[in-house]
Amino acid sequence: METIKKFHANEYKPGKFICKVQIKGNRKSFYGNTEDEAINKARLWYEDEIQSLEDKINIEETQPSSKDDNLILKQLNQIGDLLKEKNRTFDTDDIYITVKEAREYLRISQGQMYSLINQPDFPRQKIGRTYRIHFGELKDYMKKHRFSQIEV
């Protein structure tokens, strides 16, 4: 898979440049004395990461037959799982999700989400300065309040 990505480096102090790159939540910063040096370091790391992702996608060549259809579908699903970071689905109720993930799941604005969190019976857990929401309890809460107006 050929990747096309533009890299940019910014001068963070006189004569020193930084280039930041992120792949699937893995963010790295690369420093150099010139803009090209920082970009080249970032590009090498990026290409290695992309190659390792491609190596995880192992598709075996098979002869087309109904017997192999399940294998092909399974491999396509694995590829889809690796490539779709933002369109995450929650397949278990026994996990804690972030406020952002809950907001994306409910498809509401950030303000609406924080108004919802401030409801006294909303299932939230404060950990440090951030909230986590038990996914199963969130679904139960939304079912319970399905036909009532929640003040937001």
Q: What is the mean pLDDT of each run of 10 residues along the chain (152 residues)?
A: 66 85 79 86 82 64 56 68 54 77 87 88 87 87 71 52
pLDDT recorded at residue 43? 86
pLDDT recorded at residue 86? 45
Instruction: Give the gyration radius of the chain's Cα atoms.
Output: 22
pLDDT recorded at residue 56? 66
Cβ contacts of 117 within 8 Å, gap of 6 or more: 99, 124, 131, 133
Cα dist from 105 to 11, 33, 113, 138, whole Å: 38, 44, 11, 10
Q: Kindly report whether the global pTM for this prediction surpasses the value 0.75.
A: no
